[in-house]
C-alpha cells in the first residue's frame, strides 16, 4: 500500500473556528510532512515529523498546530485562521534515513482544500 | 538560504513535440528530486538524482544532473496529452529541500 490518505477533502471554516486536518499512511514511513500549496505555486514545507517528534518547523504561525499521535497518523490543528491561509494542505511521508527532507522520495496525499471565510 | 530557480514557467507544445524544463540552484546540491503534479492532483515522485553528471531515463523522460550538482533538467521526447501537468524540481542540501517554482506543461492534441 503506497497510499497517503487525507481527510477531509474540502473544508470551509470561519476565522473563529477550530478544525483539524488528518493524514494517515501505512507504509511504515517514519518521516511525515505538512505542506501548504497556493494556486500555481510550489508546495511550501510547514512541518516535519521524524519518529513522531517534531524536527522541523518552518516558522509557521502558532494558529497551525501539528500533532503526530503515532507513526501512521499526522494531524494539523487549525485555530483562528486568516483568509490568506486558504490553500491546498498536503501531507507527505517518506522513509527516515536521518538525512532530512529530500533524502528519500516523498509520497503525497491528495490534500485538503481549505477555504477560510 | 538556498534557492532553486526553474524555467520556463509555462510551456505549451503540440503533441509530438519535445519539452525541457531546467532547474538551477544557488548552492551545490546533495541530490535533486523531480515531481509531477497533474491539474487538480498532488505531486507524484518521478526520480532522484544523486551523482554528478548523472543521467537517468524513464521511457520518454530523460533526467540530467549537472557536473557541478547545481543544475538539472527534465526532457520529454514526443510529448503526449498524458504529459500535461506541472513539473517541479526539488533541490536538497544540508537537510533543506526547496521546490522550484514549477513548469506548467500544456499539450495540444
**For A52-98, what is each residue's pLDDT tens digit?**
999 999 999 999 999 999 999 999 999 999 999 999 999 999 998 77
- Determine the pLDDT at residue A103: 86
What's the longest Cα–Cα distance across chain B? Answer: 42
> Position of cell 522520495?
A105
Task: Work out the average pLDDT over A33-54.
Answer: 96
Residues of chain B contacting residue A90, judged by C-beta atoms under 8 Å apart: 42-43
pLDDT band at B94; cut points 50, 70, 90? confident
Nearest CA in chain B to A91: B42
- Determine the pLDDT at residue B95: 81
Residues of chain A contacting residue B100, judged by C-beta atoms under 8 Å apart: 42
Nearest to B45 among A105, A109, A111 (CB): A105
SS3 B30: coil
The lowest-confidence range among A50-64, A87-101, B29-43, B84-98 is A87-101
Nearest to B95 among A100, A106, A111 (CB): A100
The answer to whether residues B90 and B38 touch, using CB atoms and an 8 Å cutoff, is no
Cell of B78: 514526443
Nearest to B102 among A42, A108, A110 (CB): A42
The answer to whether residues B88 and B74 touch, using CB atoms and an 8 Å cutoff, is no
The dihedrals phi and psi of A85, each to the nearest 5 degrees, come to -80, -5
Cell of B96: 533543506
Between CA B74 and CA B50 the distance in angstroms is 15
Task: Work out the average pLDDT over A33-50.
Answer: 97
pLDDT band at A1; cut points 50, 70, 90? low
List the beta bridge partners of residue B108. Answer: B14
Cell of A104: 528519500
Q: How much of chain A exceeds pLDDT 70, in percent?
A: 98
Give which of B93, B97, B102, B106 to mutate to test A binding, by max A Cβ within 10 Å.
Answer: B97
CB contact under 8 A, A100 and B88: no
Residues of chain A contacting residue B33, judged by C-beta atoms under 8 Å apart: 102, 105-106
Comparing C-alpha atoms, which of A45, A52, A54, A56 is closest to residue A25? A52
Helix (H) or strand (E) holding A33: strand A31-37
- Determine the pLDDT at residue B52: 97
Cell of A83: 483568509
pLDDT digit string (tens) for A95-117?
987 777 888 999 999 999 999 99
pLDDT band at B1; cut points 50, 70, 90? low
Amino acid at each position: 500500500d503506497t497510499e497517503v490518505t487525507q481527510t477531509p477533502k474540502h473544508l470551509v471554516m470561519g476565522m473563529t473556528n477550530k478544525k483539524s486536518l488528518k493524514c494517515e499512511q501505512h507504509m511504515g514511513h517514519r518521516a511525515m510532512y505538512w505542506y501548504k500549496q497556493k494556486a500555481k505555486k510550489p508546495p511550501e514545507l510547514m512541518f516535519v515529523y521524524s519518529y513522531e517528534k517534531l524536527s522541523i518547523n518552518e516558522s509557521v504561525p502558532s494558529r497551525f498546530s501539528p500533532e503526530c499521535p503515532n507513526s501512521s497518523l499526522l494531524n494539523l490543528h487549525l485555530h483562528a485562521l486568516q483568509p490568506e491561509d486558504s490553500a491546498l494542505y498536503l501531507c507527505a511521508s517518506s522513509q527516515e534515513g536521518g538525512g532530512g527532507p529530500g533524502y528519500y522520495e516523498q509520497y503525497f496525499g491528495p490534500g485538503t482544500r481549505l477555504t477560510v471565510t | 538560504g538556498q534557492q532553486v530557480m526553474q524555467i520556463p514557467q509555462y510551456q505549451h507544445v503540440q503533441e509530438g513535440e519535445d519539452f525541457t524544463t531546467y532547474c538551477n540552484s544557488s548552492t551545490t546540491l546533495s541530490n535533486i528530486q523531480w515531481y509531477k503534479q497533474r491539474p487538480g492532483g498532488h505531486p507524484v515522485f518521478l526520480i532522484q538524482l544523486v551523482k554528478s553528471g548523472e543521467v537517468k531515463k524513464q521511457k520518454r523522460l530523460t533526467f540530467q544532473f549537472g557536473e557541478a550538482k547545481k543544475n538539472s533538467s527534465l526532457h520529454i521526447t514526443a510529448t503526449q496529452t498524458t504529459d500535461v501537468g506541472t513539473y517541479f524540481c526539488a533541490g536538497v542540501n544540508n537537510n533543506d529541500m526547496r521546490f522550484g517554482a514549477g513548469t506548467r506543461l500544456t499539450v495540444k492534441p
